[in-house]
Structure 1
Amino acid sequence: MAAHFPINHHLRPLYRLLCVVAGLYMLVFGVVGFVQTSGKPFFTQDEAEWVLGLRTNPAFSLLSLVAGVVVLGANLIGRNLAHHVNQLAGVVLTVVGMAMLALMQTEANIFAFSMVNVIVTFVLAGITGVASLYDRVGSASAAEAEEQFRHGPRTA
């Protein structure tokens, strides 16, 4: 393993709570957006709606709904599942934000992103990505071994 994440970090509950809030936002946005855009073409750019401050179409609403369920569910379950899902969510949201930033003024903007969408996507990526650095769980002996590896043996 190239990176050495702290195990049982004392702020782990705070980071999980932040990811729960991020997942809940994605879920609520997805549900409300899907309801408001139902009946419109799936990848429409012209008939996109503004929901909770973001521009959306049915495709982006559905994607947000699924992402919210995954992030929220993983963080409610906890353990190291949340650690891995948060890592993946941080990377995926960053890539999606960069792609939509590059494609925003083109016909390839299939999710009808606006600049506000890009900024919120990067904020959610930052929350989940940073949380993944500190939410790893393990036994007390594994945590001590990781600390010794990172900082050297403790001297009394």
Structure 2
Amino acid sequence: MDLRDELPVDHGLNRVYRVGAALCGLILIVFGCLGLADQLAFFDTDGAEVAAMSTNGLLSVLSLASGGVLITGAVIGGNTASTINIAVGGLFVLSGFYHLFVLDRPANFLDFRMSNVIFSFVVGLLVATFGMYGRVSGGLPHDNPYWRSRHGNARDTGARLALPE
């Protein structure tokens, strides 16, 4: 079974995926541009701040790249945008956990501080939520395009479908 077979292509949730990706991508691009405008050293960890978060040249470039990926997903739209949102959101959450453990250690090569960790968690959860909206749930309504694509032409009788034994 191919995962793409069960996902509907044309549905109203497409707008949620696109707007979420575009807004979060735009925020990341602005942060990255502000960091590059300050001409920060690539691996500098002296605590230079942009928008109340510490940054260096590498973090600015990574912010631009991840913002670009989200904007690309917004342009493509559909299930691709949803999948990109979920993946990028998960990476941001993982980055938040990693940098939470390496605060004030030499492994903190992106010069994260606690404000960066919180930002990483918030943006990660926000982007992932945009990607999962209406797609991932145990109780999708029967008019949801994902529910319909998974259950074929089954009619909504108000009761749950019986699983085959």
TM-score of Structure 1 vs Structure 2, range by shorter chain:
0.7 to 0.9
**TM-score normalised according to structure 2 size:** 0.75
Tell me the distance in 1 between the aligned counterparts of 2:78 and 2:134.
Answer: 8
Contact 2:34 2:50 in 1 (8 A): yes
**TM-score normalised according to structure 1 size:** 0.79
Contact 1:93 1:125 in 2 (8 A): yes
Mapping of residues 56-135 of structure 1, within 5 Å: 56-134=55-133
Tell me the distance in 2 between the aligned counterparts of 1:128 and 1:103.
Answer: 24
What is the Cα deviation at residue 43 of structure 1?
A: 1.0
Residues 53-80 of structure 1: CA distance to partner in whole angstroms, max 9, x if unpaired? 2110001011001000111121122122
List, as ranges, runs of 4+ consecutive aligned residues in structure 1 with deviation greater than 3 Å.
4-12, 140-143
- SS at the partner of 2:38? helix
Name the aligned partner's letter for residue 30 of structure 2.
V
- The CA RMSD measured in Å over matched residues stands at 2.8
Are positions 1:144 and 2:148 aligned together?
Answer: yes
Residues 117-139 of structure 1: CA distance to partner in whole angstroms, max 9, x if unpaired? 01111111011111111276xxx
Are positions 1:44 and 2:48 aligned together?
Answer: no
Higher relative contact order (CA 8 A, sep 6+): 1
Instruction: Decide whether aligned partners of structure 1 residues 82 and 135 sit closer, same or farther in structure 2, where only a CA change above 3 A counts.
Output: farther
Tell me the distance in 1 between the aligned counterparts of 2:89 and 2:19.
Answer: 16
What is the Cα deviation at residue 23 of structure 1?
A: 0.6
In the other structure, the counterpart of 1:21 is 23
Structure with the greater alpha carbon radius of gyration: 2
Count of residue pairs brought into register by the alignment: 145
Show structure 2 runs of 5+ residues with no match: 136-143, 159-165
Contact 1:6 1:134 in 2 (8 A): no
- SS at the partner of 1:80? helix
Show structure 1 runs of 5+ residues with no match: none
